[in-house]
Structure 1
Amino acid sequence: MAKKTDEKTIKTDKKVEETVEEKAIIKVRALVNIKYDKDCFKIGDEFEVRTEDSEEMTKKGYVESLEKTEKGETKEGE
Structure 2
Amino acid sequence: MIFKNRRNEFEIIQQLLSLSLNGTKKTRLMYQTNMCYSQFNEYLHCLLEKKFLEPRNGNPHGTLYFTTEKGMKLLDSVNNTLLLAM
- Using the size of structure 1 for normalisation, the TM-score is 0.27
| Structure with more relative contact order (C-alpha pairs < 8 Å, separation 6 or more) | 2
Which one has a larger percent helix, Structure 1 or Structure 2? 2
Greater Cα radius of gyration, structure 1 or 2:
1
Question: Which TM-score applies when normalising by structure 2?
Answer: 0.25
